[in-house]
Amino acid sequence: MSRTATAVERLLQDGSGRRPRADARRNVERLVIAAREAASDGGEITAHEIARRAGVGVGTFYRRVGSLEVLLQAVLSELLDEIVAAADLGLADPDPWAALCRFAGSYIRLRNELCDVNEALGGIIDHERTVLRDRIRLLVERAQAAGAMRTDVTWQDVAFLMVSTSTGDRTLGLRAGDLQWERNLQIVLDGLRTDDPNPLPGGPPQLPPSQI
């Protein structure tokens, strides 16, 4: 499988074929890292905030990446590629259950960044969702076929369950632990392996008719 371009590589492509100057590349690398950090910790995703985190001036920001939208689109593509790559790595793993567990952790971590960047762009993800759905379905089906996971849970349920583990910082006056979402995920994964589960109420999540 061919390697996809990173966000930095996408941003440095100008069609000339010339190799970018070292200082230009360093500034772009800093801006990409800063944008991803802002998304991962829930910070403000603006040109000024990203430039501040990157340690560069706003003028350098616009000179190197053109606009906030261009930067975020490159970061969004990189995040989507990383999620798909994590799924493909899992599909190549001979242990289907270990593969699903490892992917779930990677997916939640990357999805938090993905959602914040996508929201800042106004929600542009569309066909990429189909790719991600297919990967999750295949990972779940492999784990079920191997007898490692309860079969009354659908891949659609798993998509919701993974997202549900990523919680807020506080509830009922309690403060989340430093590894709270990892703890939540482990509880969910253990529940998916239950040998004698209770019947599930209702039906699994469904796609809107327009997307079927």
**Ordered DSSP codes for 139-178:** HHHHHHHTT-S-TTS-HHHHHHHHHHT---SEETTEEPPT
**Tens of pLDDT along 98-108?**
999 999 999 99
CA distance 193 to 43: 36
Quick check: is 177 in a domain?
A: yes
**Tens of pLDDT along 145-178?**
999 999 999 999 999 999 999 877 888 888 888 8
pTM: 0.83
Number of domains into which the chain is organized: 1
Q: Which domain holds residue 60?
A: 7-195
Percentage with pLDDT > 70 across the chain: 92
Specify which residues 170 forms β-bridges with. Answer: 175
Quick check: is 207 in a domain?
A: no
Quick check: is 65 in a domain?
A: yes
Quick check: is 175 in a domain?
A: yes
CA distance 199 to 55: 55
Quick check: is 1 in a domain?
A: no
The predicted model gives 57-70 an average pLDDT of 93
